[in-house]
Structure formats: structure tokens, C-alpha cells
Amino acid sequence: MIPGSFAYHRPASVDEAVALLGQFGEDGKVLAGGHSLIPMMKLRLATPEHLIDINGIGELKGIREEGGQLRIGAAATQADILASDLLANTCPLLPEAAALIADPQIRYCGTLGGNVANGDPGNDMPAVMMALAAIYALRGPGGAREVAARDFYHGTFDTALAENELLTEIRIPTPAPGHGASYQKMKRKVGDYATAAAAAVLSFDGDRCASAAVTLTNVGEAAIFVTEAGDALVGTAVDDTAVAEAAARAMALAAPVSDLRGPAEYRTQMAGEMARRAIRTAAARAKGG
């Protein structure tokens, strides 16, 4: 398993990276953490002529809070997310999900930007970002633009990111104190993609659910934002009936393929089960549990 030949570029700035992307078009690929791309290259399923390594770009790193948003550089790694006190305090859903991705070695390399931008439905962070109403900052030859995570995913390896664009930053509205969130991932073992996974982010007004977002991982061509599941929870006490209804709505949107993780029907059921668990856990956390 040896990759094909390529030319290696290590731009020092986003501008330089974007220029290279523009120059090489479909012959160029961004190298971030590399743990999706390099295995594909070793199988010769990806044969880019130019690799643009963005790990040397300082402005793509860092995790900070600014203007009511958590701003995470696209090249911040899962390990960076796990080590961030800011995220632990303001948005514990992120480290919770990061810890369920791959294994320790890969988390040192794997970036948040790579995870959300490459369009693999098996990646965990897209669903998390949708649940948190994150916004992706993109930069291309024509300048910068923002796309909401909920509008970003069109299908498997098909996203709003243009060939000549680079994801530079993930911007998450800082969740209100008192919110509750959970990511529940069922997998065969450490390092696996989800058989099914679900994220839930809830807030309460008294004992009534004020807002709710429920999303699913790896049970469709892309991460799924289940608007109807959130609707089923808002205004309720998130009791068993509401949770069951939300989970049923999540299952209705799940359309997994049968694979070695299980037949489609099972994976659909697990999407429902993970949604149930995520909602219950998020609710308990919101209530200080």
C-alpha cells in the first residue's frame, strides 16, 4: 500500500493555500490530518498530483471565543479540542464527541476542519456542528463567505465547499449556560465509524424544553439534521412520550446502507436508540444531572 507520486506544497498562509488550490484545481488536494486522505492515496483511490499541507498555517490553529461565538481554527486537532478548557466549560459536547473519534494517535493529527469538510458521512463532527448551529468560514479566490453547517452537506463527499475553497474556521454560537447536550455513538470498537450516532442539544425554560436540535451520524449520505425531532421536544417536559416521538422521527429520516456494522433496519433502529439516549442525557444535563 504505497501512494502515487505527488508534489508537496506547504503554504504559510491561507492566501497562499487558496492560491495553490486555484492553481491546481482538481489536481490539488488539501492535506490536514491526513487520516482519511492518506489511506485513500495508499489504496490509489485518491491520486492527487499536488498535496497542499495546511498544517504550517498559523492562522488556521487556535480555539477562542469572540463575539458570542466559539471560533475554532480549521486545523485545530481533536486533541486540541480535548485539551481546551474553554470548550470544556462552554461547549462540553465538542470534547465528548472528539473523544469518540478514532484513537489517541489519530486524534493528535485529525483536524476539526478535515472532519467537517471532507464530506464523509462516517465522520462525527458534521452532526455535532449541525446540532450546535455552527457556521463554516470558507475562503476562496473570490474572498470569504460563511455557510451554515445545516446547509453545507449535500451528499456523500458532496458539500458546499468549492474545489478552490478552503475551510478556515468553524464558528459556533456559544451555547447558553444551562444548555444540555450529548453525543451518543454506537460502534463496534475503538477506531470504528458509528453504526449509528446521534447528537442532541437542548435548552429549557423552567421544566419545558425551549429549544432542541437532534442530528444523526452515518445513517445516510450525509449527517442528518432532524428538524422534526426537535419540534417534537420543544414545549414538552422531554418525557418518555416526547422522547419516543422524537426518536421515531429521527428513525424516519435515517436511511443507512447495510454493511458489516449491521443490516439497514438494525442501523435505523440504533439511530433511534442513540437519539433517545442523546436526548435523555442532554435533558438530564440541562437539568443539572
Chain contacts with another protein (rule: CB under 8 A) = 1-8, 10, 31, 34-35, 38-39, 41-42, 44, 51, 53, 55, 79, 102-106, 108-109, 186, 188-192, 195, 260-263, 266-267, 269-270, 273
Q: How far is CA 39 from CA 1, 36, 42, 224, in A?
A: 8, 6, 5, 26
Pairing state of beta strands 28-31 and 50-53? parallel
Shortest distance, CB of residue 125 to another protein, whole angstroms?
18
Extended strands (E) in 19-102? 28-31, 50-53, 63-66, 69-73
CA distance 250 to 274: 10
In the complex, least distance from residue 1 CB atom to another protein, rounded to whole angstroms = 4
Q: How far is the CB of 180 from another protein (least distance, A)?
A: 21
Q: Shortest Cβ distance from residue 196 to another protein (Å)?
A: 9
Nearer to another protein, 276 or 285 (CB): 276
Q: How far is the CB of 5 from another protein (least distance, A)?
A: 4
Contact between 194 and 122 under an 8 Å Cβ cutoff? The reply is: yes
Burial 14-46, CB ≥16 within 10 A → b, else e: bebbbebbeebeeebbbbbbbbbbbeebeeeeb
Report the run of H or E that residue 214 belongs to, with start and end. strand 208-217
| Residue 72 beta carbon to another protein: minimum distance, rounded to whole angstroms | 18
List, in sequence order, every residue forming a beta bridge with 146; answer none if it has no partner: 137
CB 116 within 8 A of CB 171: no
- Closest CB to another protein among residues 174, 218: 218
Q: Which is nearer to another protein, 103 or 205 (CB)?
A: 103
- The nearest distance, CB 25 to another protein, in angstroms, is 18
| Residue matched to cell numbers 458532496 | 158
- d(CA 10, CA 51) in angstroms, rounded, equals 8
Q: Which three cell numbers stand for residue 120?
A: 464523509
